[in-house]
Structure 1
Amino acid sequence: MTFDDVRKLTLAWPEVEDGTSYGTSALKVRKKMLARLKEDGDSLVMPGIPADERDMLVASQPKVFYFTDHYKDYPMVLIRLSKTKRATVEPLLRRQWRALASKAAVRAFDHSQKS
């Protein structure tokens, strides 16, 4: 995957927009970060991942998931996009989007998926 793949996927969801964060490309929902590209150009900074889940992800797929000392005290994981697939990343992005999007947007999106 690439950040462009992530962008294409998430911009199809309501209230997602392009932005920047810490000087890199980011995707935001209602001005809150959904995900951003890390400075290395290959890693996705993914918020909304509690430490226990992050530890499990890192232990189960260390080539894909990791974190640095900088992120150890935050509910975030880093994802090596070049080492992952959409099926791994999309559920994490979707869960974070659902947490950030308005209830009305989530309802409308869910309804549109059933049609």
Structure 2
Amino acid sequence: MDLSQQDWADQLKADTNAVVLDVRTEDECSEGMIPNAINIDIYKGQGFIYAVEELDKAKNYYVYCRAGSRSAQACHIMNQLGFDHTYNLEGGFMQWKGEVDFPKE
């Protein structure tokens, strides 16, 4: 499900069963990440699928990428793998106005 930046942030804040998933590349993550996000690069293809299959399907996943299209694709893949609650951040990290963490070197 696509959510606007505001709806995504509001719903995430209220969700006690949430996992934030960043599907960008490692290089992109070095530009900053939404706090507490885990990174699984969708460009890793089958590796992405293997990593996602390790995740808890009972959680709610808030997925983002740079602009919103890779994360929409990731949500679609996750839904096919049996994840019922995936939320795509429309506009992606480029339009994110919330808090940002920078990965430690």
Same fold, TM-score > 0.5, yes or no: no
Higher helix share: 1
Rg: which structure is higher?
1
Higher strand share: 1
**What TM-score range do you get, normalising by the shorter chain?**
under 0.3
Bigger relative contact order, structure 1 or 2 (CA pairs below 8 A, ≥6 apart)? 2
